[in-house]
């Protein structure tokens, strides 16, 4: 890729960004779009938009930028919880890292690379200059200038490690103070016990009661045995769908039924439709009641056990309860709204097998995904495209078209494929046996991260040169040399990738195109104006891996192709502003993990550093500076030592709270009169919502009352 | 190697074994040898030997065999603790495994191998038959008979896994019942807290006191801050040595002094010697007192904290105490007599660094040790020996000599080298930062095991063919093929190794040659008859790896060269008898780990199975049966799955006791009146013996009283 192609790409994307910004600042002021651009404010009743028309509504403005900028961390904490704060810290941390990298990379390394003569390119024709001349490939072999690159690698690693330590420290102290300032939550007092042994002649509930009253006589409070409700949940879901359909039809009898009936009219039965649905609904509700009465007696070998104090609950989690370690397996309970119910019925063996199956499936998906990536990869080589599609030859010769294709198209197609991955990974994680939505999201985040690193970084790097992939990782000795050849070769692709995928995806996040379109269709075509709309939560499992991939690209290309760094810095600054705005207006936290996602960020950064060191070992070997190559070797070891210290110093704080913290909180509340009522509420906090709703609907839900005529007559 | 050479070797070793047995049965009856062959009984005052001479004393007898055989497991448990029982279970388990292996290997696989024609050897000349014809190498390539080997691998793996599961289950249940039947031990009620934070103006003792009274007000009992005593220990050791010397001389003034003085008389000063030692001793004792008074004030940031109940202590171990996870680091306290004091003064960082250094040193020793092994390896090839030492040519041509050299010498030399390794590994483990002697021994056991596997198994296997070693493990894909070529080639060497090293070392264990010689010198040359002699404890760290190596050899050669199996079975039966006798008469347990060594045995067996599978994959590929080669692949995966289940099912029981067990014990003792005095004793149970003895000697030790004239006058 030549410089002008890059500039074209940058131009297009800058234009797109400004277009998105302008459109956003206009569209967000339209009252109909409040649900798209400020669903959170609407849900909280804070949306102050009127339907009055004025000119201001049509003018773009930058007020949101100021508001997002001025937001303090304390405000963010109260609005989005610690997870939101930690999410924003990723941007702050990355911006700091790359601000330093830009200073070193652009002002020191870039000129050195450019002055090199290795690629013997014409130095004066700047626009047609290959971007290769800005990379380390252009530095002469064996040149002493490479020692500057060598020092830069050492200094950069030190700075990143310092920032990582600082950030880990900051977030773990935030986590402790967040715990200190938190109100009593059911999950702090509760543990989940699984694999309760079967006693003959006793129900699980009695077994749990007798076990915990015997071994925790002073601190045991209550328990709630989980009931098998997966079938019931399915039925209720169906009933809900039908109920909504019936309600829609009976609410707008003329308009709705005539349109729908016209659509279905091809098969006759114009008026019967409503009756048909109602009948179906009655059947299902009868099933629900039958299932409900049988289900309530069908206990699963798992229970939520609540204690009087946080300390007692924590002590119970950490210790092996029964003599047999596969029985009475205890773990921290998630928040009631965070519980993922469908997988509770699974036995230890079933969960273990599904865990294995998911791991295999995950590896397979990660590997098989390469096929579309390889096709996309072909698009970056114009010559190949011309041989494949000879009829396009004329078109491809036009400078602009060829620049768009090389600079823009490949990463766009790749990105479209990648949109599917997070939901697949969430699905895989959810059948892996996790009991909390937050755990599923965290696990999916890790899966997506490895998927992204493998399929974007490694697949592009290695398929660009040859199909080494499988073989390379079976011959660890050759990895540095192979990467040293392959990685710099893909520098231009990744610069384009940052600009297209990074910039555009972030601004489209602001613009929320799909939601906007859905909302438009809903309002103008379906004419639905119901107040029930869901406030979305940040999809951490898809956002964090993307942000971390850019971090990986920046760190690995820091000394290879410093040209990538300014674009990354812009990306992180953009992301910082946009996501702060989104956290304020759009996303509401569904549950709170207390910043448990940070260790993923930390590990990913350490991995990126090690990868950079491995490439550096290869590069200095390739550039005929074997001394520098050997002198890099201590660096990954030191980084791993640093990481192992961090794991010891900070990681335990992300797993559980200390005795000191727990007892401090417990004692604060010792004389609190409201604790008694909280303890009472604990007893029923962990009811499966399916069972609750089943009973609720059985006792006639107000809105559905007219539809339950028959069933009520039955009871 | 040919069959007759093997038989010569077997003959020599059988002869040696019987010689050892006969000598043992005579020597053990000599009253002077009681300290060698029954130190345990002597120490317990159970030795009933008289000095009367009778003929029976000179006749060999087999009474000890019957006694060792008849010993029940309950008796063994009471005599040698659970560790002794677990140690004997290794023999029982291995004997079971190889009894099955002998049936399959010798009666099914061996005839098939022998009937093969691949090596086209003369089938009738049995004595000069190469042992190769009994191995799988002799089976024709692509022969369907290899499917029998294939099935044998599957069946054998299943049987070993079943036995492993059974044994793990048995030992973990033994462990629980051992805990239930144990008397209250200080270590059950105590935790060790390290990295106590420094508070300004407060001593560690005050900090610990205030921390635990605040957070464990009802269960905290007492604490004992560790004091820096490493210098003191050195001084006391010197003083002890001198004291003994002085006592010896003053006790036998004529005999002792004259002899020694005659020896030293070359330099004059005939009578001054005693005075000289006494003066030196006085100096040291003064130092000890000075050090003692200064040391008692110098606390280290570590303390033993005792609780009222086992449950409270266990809860405190499992939870993070302070907000900062690197402070108040808690771990289970070892038994007071199990504590390894010298390394207490080390800070977190110092321990961490020494840990890293030890790992590096361990790897280096393991790798550098190959040099002598390679030299030894050369001895197995007679031709090489002849070219190196041409003057030996005549000698080497003698059939008997050549058979001794090929069959016996190499493994003897190797074994001599290996004698040094356990003590080196113990030394390495002891500077690694462990706080208990049992932990040091366990860690050394693992180190010696890997050392043995690498330096005996892999070094012999791989150097026998070429210097692949380093390269092979960097190219994992090639491992099966390389091992498949190399491993069967060394079958004869390992058969000889089992016979020489295995049989002889076990019978020499019975004979205790070095101890016998030392005892003889002590009694007849030094004429020392002091009652102070130490009852030895089983050197698990050197014995277990050796036993496990034979297991590894048996499992990997099970289907390659079944000829090894009967020799192994004999080895395990011998070992079973001999070690039971030794546990009864010689070794007394110094401390009790509660069978924590079993997981090492389990892991080693799993490793052996996986190694066998990898070799099988290679062998079937080599033998042109690719289908069998691929069908073996699921086997290591299944084995690993089995292992991961075992780790989950049993391993937690070897790490800590369950709430159920702890509370059961606590409640039994709740109303026990002796518990009050036990609690009182807990407060001082964890004094450093160096400090105790220092105070003791300061207050004049009765036996040394005459030597302390001057120092007493000072005080």
| pLDDT digit string, tens, across residues A121-163 | 555 566 666 777 788 888 888 888 899 999 999 999 999 999 9
Q: Identify the contact set of chain A against chain B, taking CB-CB distances under 8 A.
A: 176, 214-215, 314-316, 318-326, 352, 356, 474-477, 641, 645, 648-653, 656-661, 663
User: Which pair of structure tokens corresponds to residue B573?
Assistant: 């039966």
Q: Could you tell me if B449 and B476 lie in one domain?
A: yes
pTM of the predicted model as reported, rounded to 2 decimal places: 0.80
Strand partners, B332: B191
Q: Could you tell me if A152 and A266 lie in one domain?
A: no
CB neighbours of B394 closer than 8 A, spacing ≥ 6?
none
Least confident of A2-6, A410-414, B160-164: A410-414
Mean local confidence (pLDDT), A279-298: 67
Task: Give the pLDDT score at B352.
Answer: 78
Q: How far is B687 from chain A (nearest CA, A)?
A: 27
**Mean pLDDT estimate for chain B:** 80
Q: Could you tell me if A375 and A249 lie in one domain?
A: no
Tell me if A475 sits within 8 A of A393, measured CB to CB. no
Q: From the list B321, B476, B641, which residue is nearest A659 (CB)?
A: B321
Task: Give the pLDDT score at B232.
Answer: 64
Q: Which of B309, B312, B315, B473 to mutate to test the interface with A (most CBs of A within 10 A)?
A: B315
Residue B330, H or E segment: strand B329-332
Distance CA(B214)–CA(B200), nearest Å, equals: 19
Q: From the list B325, B356, B657, which residue is nearest A652 (CB)?
A: B325
Q: Is the pLDDT of residue B699 over 50?
A: no
State the ipTM, two decimals. 0.77
Distance CA(A614)–CA(A187), nearest Å, equals: 43
Domain coverage including residue B676: 190-348+665-689
Using only the alpha carbons of chain B, give its radius of gyration.
29
Q: Is the pLDDT of residue A714 over 50?
A: no
Question: Is residue A28 helix, strand or coil?
Answer: coil
Q: Could you tell me if A23 and A157 lie in one domain?
A: yes
Percentage of chain B modeled with pLDDT above 70: 77
Mean local confidence (pLDDT), A339-356: 75
Which strand ranges, in their side-by-side order, compose the sheet holding A220-227? A220-227, A299-307, A190-194, A329-332
Distance CA(A457)–CA(A622), nearest Å, equals: 21
Residue A198 gets which letter from DSSP?
P
Domain count, chain A: 2
The beta-strand segments (E) located in B77-128 are: none
Q: Is the pLDDT of residue A400 over 90?
A: no
Task: Give the pLDDT score at B229.
Answer: 65
Contacts of B332 in chain A (CB under 8 A): none
Task: Give the pLDDT score at B39.
Answer: 81
User: Which pair of structure tokens corresponds to residue A79?
Assistant: 């609005």
> Is residue A696 in a domain?
no
Task: Give the pLDDT score at B409.
Answer: 65
**pLDDT band (50, 70, 90) for residue A351:** confident
Q: Could you tell me if B214 and B148 lie in one domain?
A: no
Tell me if A430 sits within 8 A of A412, measured CB to CB. no
> Is residue A713 in a domain?
no
Mean local confidence (pLDDT), A353-366: 86
CB contact under 8 A, A658 and B321: yes
Q: Could you tell me if A331 and A462 lie in one domain?
A: no
More confident residue, A682 or A254: A682
Tell me if B278 sits within 8 A of B707, measured CB to CB. yes
Percentage of chain A modeled with pLDDT above 70: 77
Q: How far is B369 from chain A (nearest CA, A)?
A: 24
> Is residue B365 in a domain?
no
Q: Could you tell me if B166 and B54 lie in one domain?
A: yes
CB contact under 8 A, A661 and B323: yes
Q: Is the pLDDT of residue B333 over 80?
A: yes
**pLDDT one-digit tens code per residue, B562-571:** 989 999 999 9
> Is residue B647 in a domain?
no
Q: Could you tell me if A135 and A208 lie in one domain?
A: no
Contacts of A663 in chain B (CB under 8 A): 214-215
Distance CA(B63)–CA(B68), nearest Å, equals: 9
> Is residue B366 in a domain?
no
Backbone angles phi, psi at A190, to 5 degrees: -125, 145
Q: How far is A309 from chain B (nearest CA, A)?
A: 13
Q: From the list B215, B474, B645, which residue is nearest A660 (CB)?
A: B215
Tally of CA atoms within 13 A in the half-sphere of A256 that contains its CB: 15
Q: Could you tell me if A178 and A247 lie in one domain?
A: no
The dihedral sign for the CA sequence B166, B169, B173, B179: positive
Q: Could you tell me if A42 and A137 lie in one domain?
A: yes
Task: Give the pLDDT score at B268.
Answer: 44
CB contact under 8 A, A326 and B641: no
> Is residue B21 in a domain?
yes
Task: Give the pLDDT score at B259.
Answer: 40
Backbone angles phi, psi at B304, to 5 degrees: -90, 120
Contacts of B475 in chain A (CB under 8 A): 474-475, 477
Task: Give the pLDDT score at B694.
Answer: 45
Tell me if B544 sits within 8 A of B90, measured CB to CB. yes
Percentage of chain A modeled with pLDDT above 90: 21
Q: From the list A321, A650, A659, which residue is nearest B660 (CB)?
A: A321
> Is residue A669 in a domain?
yes
> Is residue A651 in a domain?
no
Given its phi and psi angles, is residue A194 left (phi above 0), alpha (psi -120 to 50 degrees) or beta?
beta
**Mean pLDDT estimate for chain A:** 80
Selection from A136, A142, A128 nearest residue A108 by Cα: A136
Q: Could you tell me if A103 and A45 lie in one domain?
A: yes
User: Which pair of structure tokens corresponds to residue A637?
Assistant: 């070891």
Q: Is the pLDDT of residue A670 over 50?
A: yes
CB contact under 8 A, A215 and B660: yes
Task: Give the pLDDT score at B344.
Answer: 67
CB contact under 8 A, B325 and A659: no
Q: How far is A319 from chain B (nearest CA, A)?
A: 7
**pLDDT band (50, 70, 90) for residue B712:** very low
Q: Is the pLDDT of residue B620 over 70?
A: yes
Q: Which of B178, B307, B323 to mutate to test the interface with A (most CBs of A within 10 A)?
A: B323
Closest chain A residue to the Cα of B217, Cα to Cα:
A663
Task: Name the pairing type of β-strands A299-307 and B329-332.
Answer: unpaired
Q: How far is A312 from chain B (nearest CA, A)?
A: 10
Q: Which of B658, B663, B666, B670 to mutate to test the interface with A (most CBs of A within 10 A)?
A: B658
Tally of CA atoms within 13 A in the half-sphere of A642 that contains its CB: 24
Distance CA(B444)–CA(B424), nearest Å, equals: 9
Least confident of A39-43, A384-388, B378-382: B378-382
Contacts of B323 in chain A (CB under 8 A): 176, 653, 658, 660-661
Task: Give the pLDDT score at A551.
Answer: 94
**pLDDT band (50, 70, 90) for residue A471:** low
Mean local confidence (pLDDT), A384-407: 72
Q: How far is A307 from chain B (nearest CA, A)?
A: 15
**pLDDT one-digit tens code per residue, B390-408:** 777 777 777 777 777 766 6
Tell me if A109 sits within 8 A of A148, measured CB to CB. yes
**pLDDT one-digit tens code per residue, B164-211:** 999 999 999 999 999 998 888 888 899 998 888 888 888 888 899 999
Q: Is the pLDDT of residue A259 over 50?
A: no
**pLDDT one-digit tens code per residue, B430-442:** 888 788 888 999 9
Selection from A713, A419, A489, A658 nearest residue A1 by Cα: A489
Q: How far, in Å, are A403, A668, B371, B547 from residue B597 at the CA level? A: 67, 45, 31, 13
Q: Could you tell me if B179 and B196 lie in one domain?
A: no
Selection from A349, A405, A341 nearest residue A378 by Cα: A405
């Amino acid at each position: 890729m030549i410089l002008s192609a890059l500039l074209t790409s940058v131009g297009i994307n800058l234009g797109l960004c400004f277009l998105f910004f302008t459109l956003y600042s206009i569209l967000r002021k339209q009252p109909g779009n409040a649900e798209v651009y400020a669903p959170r404010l609407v849900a909280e009743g804070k949306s102050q938009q009127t339907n009055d028309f004025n000119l201001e509504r049509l003018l773009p403005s930058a007020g949101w930028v100021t508001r997002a900028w001025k937001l303090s961390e304390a405000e963010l904490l109260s609005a989005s919880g610690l997870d939101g704060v930690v999410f924003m810290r990723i941007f702050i941390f990355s911006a700091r890292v790359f601000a330093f990298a830009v200073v070193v990379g652009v002002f020191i390394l870039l000129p050195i690379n450019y002055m090199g003569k290795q690629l013997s390119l014409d130095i004066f024709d700047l626009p047609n200059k290959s971007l290769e001349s800005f990379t380390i490939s252009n530095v002469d072999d064996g040149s002493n200038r490479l020692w500057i690159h060598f020092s830069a690698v050492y200094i950069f690693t030190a700075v990143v490690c310092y920032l990582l330590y600082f950030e880990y420290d900051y977030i773990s102290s935030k986590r402790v103070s967040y715990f200190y300032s938190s109100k009593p939550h059911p999950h702090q007092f509760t543990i989940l016990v699984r694999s309760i042994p079967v006693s003959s002649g006793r129900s699980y509930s009695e077994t749990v009661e007798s076990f915990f009253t015997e071994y925790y006589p002073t601190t045991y409070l209550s328990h709630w045995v989980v009931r098998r409700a997966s079938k019931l949940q399915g039925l209720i879901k169906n009933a809900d769908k039908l109920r909504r359909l019936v309600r829609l039809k009976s609410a707008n009898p003329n308009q709705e039924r005539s349109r729908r009936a016209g659509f279905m009219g091809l098969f006759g039965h114009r008026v019967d439709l409503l009756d048909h649905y109602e009948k179906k609904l009655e059947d299902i509700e009868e099933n629900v009641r039958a299932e409900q009465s049988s289900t309530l007696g069908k206990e699963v070998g798992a229970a939520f056990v609540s204690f009087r104090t946080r300390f007692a609950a924590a002590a119970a989690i950490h210790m092996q309860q029964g003599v047999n370690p596969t029985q009475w397996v205890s773990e921290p309970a998630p928040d009631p709204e965070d519980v993922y119910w469908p997988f509770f019925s699974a036995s230890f063996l079933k969960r273990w097998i599904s865990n294995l199956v998911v791991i295999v499936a995950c590896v397979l998906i990660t590997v098989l995904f390469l096929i579309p990536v390889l096709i996309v990869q072909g698009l970056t080589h114009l010559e190949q495209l011309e041989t494949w599609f000879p009829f396009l030859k004329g078109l491809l010769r036009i400078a602009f078209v060829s620049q768009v294709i090389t600079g823009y198209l490949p990463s766009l197609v790749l990105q479209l494929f990648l949109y599917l991955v997070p939901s697949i990974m969430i699905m895989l994680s959810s059948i892996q046996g996790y009991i909390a939505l937050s755990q599923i999201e965290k696990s999916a985040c890790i899966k997506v991260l490895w998927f992204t690193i493998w399929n974007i970084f490694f697949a592009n790097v290695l398929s660009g040169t040859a199909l080494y992939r499988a073989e390379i990782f079976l011959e660890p000795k050759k990895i540095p040399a192979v990467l040293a050849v392959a990685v710099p070769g893909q520098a231009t692709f990744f610069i384009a990738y940052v600009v297209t995928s990074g910039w555009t995806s972030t601004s489209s996040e602001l613009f929320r195109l799909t939601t906007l379109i859905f909302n438009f269709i809903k309002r103008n075509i379906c004419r639905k104006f119901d107040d029930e709309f869901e406030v979305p939560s940040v999809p951490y499992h898809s956002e964090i891996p993307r942000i971390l991939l850019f971090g990986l690209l920046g760190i690995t290309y820091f000394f290879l192709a410093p040209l990538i760094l300014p674009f990354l810095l812009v990306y992180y600054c953009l992301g910082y502003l946009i996501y702060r705005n989104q956290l304020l207006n759009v996303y509401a936290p569904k549950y709170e993990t207390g910043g448990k996602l940070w260790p993923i960020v930390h590990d990913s950064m350490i991995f990126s550093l090690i990868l950079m060191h491995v490439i550096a070992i290869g590069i200095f070997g390739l550039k005929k500076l074997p001394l520098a190559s050997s002198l890099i070797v201590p660096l990954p070891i030191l980084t791993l030592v640093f990481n192992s210290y961090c794991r010891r110093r900070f990681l335990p704080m992300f797993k559980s709270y200390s005795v000191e913290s727990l007892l401090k909180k417990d004692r604060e509340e010792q004389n609190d009169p409201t604790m008694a009522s909280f303890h009472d509420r604990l007893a029923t906090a962990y009811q499966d919502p399916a069972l609750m709703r089943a009973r609720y609907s059985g006792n006639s839900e107000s809105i559905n009352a007219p539809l339950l005529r028959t069933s009520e007559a039955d009871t």
